[in-house]
A and B are shown apart, each in its own frame.
Chain A
């Protein structure tokens, strides 16, 4: 399937900002069952410098420097992506979760693809005993890792309430667990933290969902914004499997991957520091159209 994605981020400042240094992670990846066809980012005001490098996680990262005073920063990203992947069945045979844990502990690979990078606490996903306890109910002794993860995903979908106003990026995980509500990012973080608490590798994925559902199907939650889900390592044979706890589905052809990291802080699409205004307003608009 081919998608056209438009992702517009607009910051409005109360007083002029004299300087901005941003990192953009807006270029969809060409791996994991998808191929980038075209991509462009338009920035206003015109940056003094733009350079792109690939970060540790393999994500193309653009550094942008703006030195003109401005009251508005608009980042308009357009991408065309060809997606073609098949999700494993929910009941597929997968190795016992305990063996997956031991395999990841014994890893001799430090690259971004190695499971070992996703077992430890990360800046936004601390290790919390209550979260681990919550997750462990899905991990009975000797059960297959994928079946356990699917069970955990299902429980998050049914036991947590989706509420787009309930949380912000800085809402601590503890609070999300206590109040049982949040957005895609919170659900992904809960799932990731719970699995890591048990010693299992889980990554954070940022990306998009198709906006208009296939005929006869319900519109997915988070389709008009950037989306986030979890990717779980299921042993050497199955590798990484995407699970979307916000929608209780395995990642297949409705999901477009932007970037993969340990948590939101590794993949945030637009990030940066400014000098100037204290007050700022952010607006994000995402449109994902099926071309064919």
Chain B
């Protein structure tokens, strides 16, 4: 069968590459392929694609692939394999999966039907229970699923639907038809990655993408978002995407979706139940949440009624659902439909509930909870793939995934037999199917690889909307059913290709349905907390870098003969020790101290550690940062992690990083919406700069400061030029103190930072309604007054120390006022004990 490909069509002149690729494409024996049909001829859509693709020069192809990969890396498109700590860059296969429009219509109709069937099944199952009572669905096939939530039995889903969205994993079977491999009804992932894959590939191959008439996915997302909005019981609903947090394998996707759909990215801690509603803790107090799109599994949603050990949920959430107080998508308990035990009953249920045959088959499945099926499976055990009836694992055979009896040792085989005989309800036998392959680009040629296609459906007021395209995972192993992104698999974009030109977007909302809005709501406390700390970490990194530079570069005054005076070196070293950037004594070479403070891996105060802390904090803020801002942080972390060769290397690394910090500040200044989020980033930066500048002044402008010290200070706070333009004499104590601490016109002075802080605080909402001034404002105003009325001659080491303490108190009070449930607060705890 192999090697015959391409004979059905004449090679096009000038496109010998395509002919070559086609000839070299070795299909796997007996397995259908997407590119080359059963009869050996390439499918039409693929010919069109490769003709255009082959028109590109080889170097151009590689360049475009490279640019796609770079975009993924720079945008930080990541996932985490189970059990891993570090994020991995998304492995993208550069050749999309192509599906012809007419074939897509059939897939789309089948998925629509299946989604509807599952929705009706759920409605009956958690409602009247007629299907179980009549025997159409065995009670055991439901009761065995950990996703069968007894606490929501008889509860009508707020918003009216169990499934707001649904996904099915598909593969093309040996008969050339598409088959359903599994249903995803809990919280299907992949939608956000599909979006990102599309973005990257359509950018890398703009012309090709345009010429292929690919169906757009944006209207699907719009329909999904609008439907969730419509499910709430008020006009301008607040919608949150509930994530398990940055440690989740697919956190990147949660952030992408939240940003793209305009939802708030929230964790369980951000939410609180009060009255019969769920609320978000924001910097303006509790704000009602109307809809929760969840990426947290049902059982973790409410420690009070479900898994008590869960830290991801909201205590009391289930009770709010019971009282119709919040729409949760999908409704908790919907995951029960993922059970393989149910598969065998779906064909008859479809006829019973919808009055029509299932449009797409699924893998033939025997649930061993029924005697006849169990005996069938046991009698020809080797013919089946044994899977768990409810979850991903096979009970009693952990970690193996699907079990093939033929691969087991005699004793393990006997164990499997006993297990199926005792507890057949836990197992299904599935027919062994080899799924179709799709081409991947492999060193200049095409090679077939098995794949799984995930198709997404969203419930809308006008019926189910199917995303044209989907999320394709390509395996490196022959059995595609075990494809997970952890196991060396790749993802691919999915193009639904039409003969006709695609309309840009047909679902643009009409003018009447969109209200003009200017502020994107209040920031959740946790996000504000993170922004505040992002600002502080970056500013602290800047201070460290300035100290490093001062250690390494001779001072500007040519009369000083180059090197920084020993006394000043000691002061710099002391400062670096105080904030954990170095542990070296002043006797060490300044260059060594500088290198450690720059990139000491084990020093929590080194510039590298601080930038990494900023990066971690930014990870939790992905949906709020522009890709450019994220990229700057990533680059800084990468640069500081690279080993520097010599003293010059230290200086240039410090200087380049300082420039990047400035560009981050510029991005924030120019591009961030002036909503409360921006204010918290700014406040973090201002508070930290005020503290550090005061600390510098206390060291280098202390009562005993030498002119060398003052010179260092002017460099540290970037005021050399200003000072020289004002004073013709060298650095003197009172003028330097005035410029660095009190001067309201100097953007680096303490007074300037405090005045900015004051301004931000005044713009934030008051939490109490008693008319009294709140603590952060009280402290900031008092500080500002003393700085406005202060005189340089009155400043001394002691008063500078007091000023530093006051600034620290102000920063803390901002934290405890606006983020009372931040990292320092105690979490709700489980009452312990039983007698």
Contacts and interface: CB of A to CB of B under 8 A. Distances in A.
B151 A56 contact: yes
Interface stretch (B730-738, B782-790, B822-830): B822-830
B132 interface: yes
Contacts of A278: 826, 829
Given A120-B143, A197-B423, A273 B315 contact: yes
Contact of A284 (B132, B143, B151, B833): B833
Contacts of B831: 11, 20, 22, 270-274, 280, 282
A226 interface: yes
A116 B143 contact: yes
A127 interface: yes
Contacts of A119: 140, 143-144, 423, 425
Nearest to B368: A105
A197 B826 CA distance: 40
Interface string B139-160: 1101110000011010000000
A274 B829 contact: yes
A199 B139 contact: no
B834 interface: yes
B143 A282 contact: no
A185 B303 contact: no
B828 A185 contact: no
Contacts of B827: 275
Interface string A260-285: 00001100111111111110101010
A225 interface: yes
B395 interface: yes
A185 B129 contact: no
Interface string A63-81: 1000000000000000000
B832 A282 contact: yes
Contacts of B304: 21, 23, 271-273
B133 interface: yes
Interface in A182-218: 185, 197-199
B422 A284 contact: no
B308 A271 contact: yes
Nearest to A67: B274
Contacts of B129: 110
Nearest to A104: B140
A106 B125 CA distance: 17
B33 interface: no
Contacts of A197: 422-423
A281 B506 CA distance: 63
Contacts of B132: 108-110
A105 B129 CA distance: 17
B134 A108 contact: yes
B135 interface: yes
B400 to A, nearest CB: 15
A282 B830 CA distance: 12
A55 B151 contact: yes
B422 A169 contact: no
A123 interface: yes
A105 B396 contact: no
Contacts of A20: 831
Contacts of B133: 108-109
Contacts of B347: none
A278 B828 CA distance: 9
- Interface SS of chain B: helix, strand, loop or mixed? loop
Given A108-B133, A108-B134, A114 B834 contact: no
B314 to A, nearest CB: 10
Nearest to A267: B834
Contacts of A102: 371
Interface string B309-341: 000000110010000000000000000000000
Contacts of B319: 63
Contacts of B371: 102
Contacts of A175: none
A117 B140 CA distance: 8
B139 A107 contact: yes
Contact of A199 (B315, B425, B828, B830): B425
Nearest to B148: A110
Interface in B365-410: 369-371, 395-396
A285 to B, nearest CB: 8
A270 B423 CA distance: 33
B351 interface: no
A107 B834 contact: no
Contact of A56 (B153, B370, B826): B153
Most buried by B among A109, A268, A272: A272
Contact of A110 (B139, B303, B396): B139
A286 interface: yes
A264 B834 CA distance: 10
Nearest to B150: A56
B424 interface: yes
B832 A108 contact: no
Interface in A9-23: 11, 19-23
A32 interface: no
B360 to A, nearest CB: 28
Given A63-B319, A123-B307, A274-B829, A108 B834 contact: no
Contacts of A185: 834
Contact of A280 (B140, B315, B832): B832
Interface of B: 125, 129, 132-135, 138-140, 142-144, 150-151, 153, 273, 303-305, 307-308, 315-316, 319, 369-371, 395-396, 422-426, 825-835
25 contacts: A21-B304, A21-B316, A22-B831, A56-B151, A105-B370, A106-B138, A107-B139, A107-B140, A108-B138, A109-B132, A110-B143, A120-B143, A120-B426, A197-B422, A265-B308, A268-B834, A273-B830, A273-B831, A274-B828, A275-B826, A275-B827, A277-B829, A282-B832, A284-B834, A284-B835
Q: Which 3 A-B pairs have the closest CB atoms?
A: A225-B835, A282-B833, A284-B835
Interface of A: 11, 19-23, 55-57, 63, 102, 104-110, 114, 116-117, 119-120, 123, 127, 129, 132, 168-169, 185, 197-199, 225-226, 264-265, 268-278, 280, 282, 284, 286
